[in-house]
Amino acid sequence: METVKSSQDSIIETSIFGSFYLAGSEFAVSVSYVQEVVNAPTKYTSVPLAPTYLKGLFNLRGTVVPVLDLRQLLNLNATESRDLQKVAIIELNGACVGLLFDKTGEVFKNNEDERSDFDLAHSQGVVSGVFKKESGQRIVQILDVGRLFKLQNIPKDSSRTRLARESLGKKRGNRSQCISFVVGPARCSLPISDIQEIIKVNQVNESALGVGDCIGTIDLRGATVPVIDFASLLKYRAVDRSEAATKGDRRVVVMKLEQEFFGLMVDSIDSIITYFPDELLTFPMVEQSKSDMFLGCITGHGEFDVLLLDHQKILTNAEINDITRGHSKLYRSHERSKESIKSKGGARRTYITFKIDSSYAVAIGDVKEIIDYPKQLLQPPGMKNHVRGVLNLRGELVTIIDARSMYMNASKLSQTDFSKVLVFKKNDVHFGLVVDTVESIVTFAENDKVKLPEMLYRQNEEGISADISEAVEVMDANEEKRNMLILSVESLSQRIMRSLAA
């Protein structure tokens, strides 16, 4: 536990205290600080670079609340069941923290005959005294709220309240789009405009560039791209330079900093989500050297809150210099290769690939967002067999279409943890397409693709092949040939309109 200074906040404690139990010990806090007690959330937003006693963040009706695990802070044993844990919301000078505890105790008056305060000049920690109840047989430790807020690594949240955000009105312009991905226990995201592409690589090449959190390089169509272990950068784990660094669902998110390309190795790609800029909640940080990296917190998208990043602030100038120092020749070659790509490749197109038994792709600009399969859907009467239901997506009704059932007259897809819904809005039709899984994001130059003969895929004019605009062969990031069946969203939307009207 860290040493803290004595609290000097001029908050007058009431004579009423509330107690709670944690790992068999009883603690108390003046009820003047307690705003409410809520059930412990099932999911927390992980805070990068956080101390062990910071459980994480959760969204309480529009306010981001950091939750302290006093068990970790006070080195208590885990002896109680955590199934029924509660969180006490404590407020001081407009800031809030949550205190995680096992069960509630009692409410009692401050009896000076029972109370013993510690000498604050020599005391360390967040316990400022005790109540000796039942003739000293029961000890209740008094928490100093001011000291809790003065712990050096506790985020201070000054985010807007839900009421303040609602007062901004409904006319907020267009939604912004970002791609979310998993990094350790956290969900992070980058605006689509800041991402060059997202690729799966078989291996990262060893290089003198492999310093700090940089694990090596990849060759991206002739350009050398340093790859950063993002989970290591955020202090979630030690840097991973093993063969497992590229295994499983890990992907490299390629971005451009100034004139250079860098890749972030992330654990998996999650979704495409949309948000209004005024919906962003202030994200409190414990490590000020990295605080500029986080633009805010996007809430209301599934079980997890999503941290929005500024790609220009992920690496500091010092970190960029460490990676690039001594490699000017390499980067001059890099620049020449990029110019060559620019002059020969032509316009570049980006596609999202996904599976419905086989692999397909749609232009990323046609996809409004990607969401997890909804837990609840409206079930209006008279639905077609291929309609799963209707989703209320932030005030807009979206018809959820089962792709396998519509195209193949097959049984409906059984959703899994990997099932996603691609949301489209075309020709005034707002629909979502249930797919097995979203695979990757692929970018290639129009001049580099090779069109495949229609006879290879145009097999059934009533099936999915009728909605394929073209089939192409491209080179992926591993310089391997890859066939892509590109769906026409225009044709898809017309098919859905016809099926719903029939």
With helix as H, strand as E and coil as C, how does 187-212 read? EEEEEHHHEEEEECCCCCECCCCCCC
Indicate the length of the chain as a whole number.
Answer: 502
Query: In the numeric block, which tokens belong to residue 286?
Result: 């414990």
Class of residue 416 by CB neighbours under 10 A (exposed 0-12, middle 13-18, buried 19+): exposed
Structural domains of the chain sorted by starting position, each given as residue range(s) with its CATH number in brackets: 16-150 (2.40.50.180), 176-338 (2.40.50.180), 348-501 (2.40.50.180)
pLDDT tens across the length of the chain (502 residues): 333 333 444 344 567 788 888 888 899 998 888 887 888 888 888 888 888 888 989 888 778 889 999 888 888 876 555 667 888 888 888 788 999 998 888 778 888 888 988 876 545 578 888 999 888 888 999 999 888 888 877 776 544 444 443 444 445 566 788 888 999 988 999 988 888 888 888 888 876 545 678 888 888 777 788 899 999 998 888 999 888 889 888 989 988 887 788 999 999 888 778 788 888 887 666 656 677 888 888 887 666 788 999 999 998 887 887 776 544 444 444 444 445 444 445 667 888 888 887 788 898 888 888 888 888 888 888 788 889 999 988 778 899 998 888 887 655 555 666 678 999 988 777 899 998 888 877 777 777 777 756 655 555 566 777 888 888 887 766 667 777 888 889 988 888 888 887 6
The per-residue pLDDT for 99 is: 93
d(CA 493, CA 427): 7
Q: What angle do CA 164, 167, 168 make, to 5 degrees?
A: 100
d(CA 143, CA 74): 11
- 394: region left, alpha or beta (phi > 0 left; psi from -120 to 50 alpha): left
Give me the residues paired with residue 308 across strands: 189, 296
d(CA 448, CA 445): 5
Q: List C-alpha distances in Å: 214 to 182, 207, 220, 389.
A: 18, 9, 16, 46
d(CA 401, CA 329): 53
Q: Which residue has the tokens 């909640």?
A: 281
Query: In the numeric block, which tokens belong to residue 118?
Result: 């510690």
**Do residues 125 and 1 lie in contact, with contact meaning Cβ atoms separated by under 8 Å?**
yes
Least Cα distance to 55 among 44, 40, 63, 39 occurs for 44
The per-residue pLDDT for 160 is: 43
The per-residue pLDDT for 283 is: 67
Predicted TM-score of the model (pTM): 0.62
How many C-beta atoms surround the C-beta of residue 269 within 10 A?
22
Least Cα distance to 131 among 37, 9, 17 occurs for 17
Residues 6+ away with beta carbon under 8 Å from 179: 189, 190, 192, 195, 198, 253, 269, 270, 271, 272, 273, 441
Q: How many Cα atoms occupy the beta-carbon half-sphere of 398 within 13 Å?
A: 27
- 357 secondary structure, DSSP code: S
**Do residues 48 and 185 lie in contact, with contact meaning Cβ atoms separated by under 8 Å?**
no
Q: What angle do CA 365, 296, 250 make, to 5 degrees?
A: 60
Query: In the numeric block, which tokens belong to residue 420?
Result: 């996603």
Q: Which residue has the tokens 């309480």?
A: 60
Q: Which residue has the tokens 């209320």?
A: 392
Question: Is residue 311 classed as helix, strand or coil in its secondary structure?
Answer: helix
- 497: region left, alpha or beta (phi > 0 left; psi from -120 to 50 alpha): alpha
**H/E/C letters for each residue in 241-275?**
CCHHHHCCCCEEEEEEECCEEEEEEECEEEEEEEE
**Do residues 148 and 90 lie in contact, with contact meaning Cβ atoms separated by under 8 Å?**
yes
Q: What are the backbone angles phi and psi of residue 263, rounded to the nearest 5°?
A: -115, 140
- 245 residue type, one letter: A
Q: List C-alpha distances in Å: 466 to 59, 421, 424.
A: 45, 21, 19
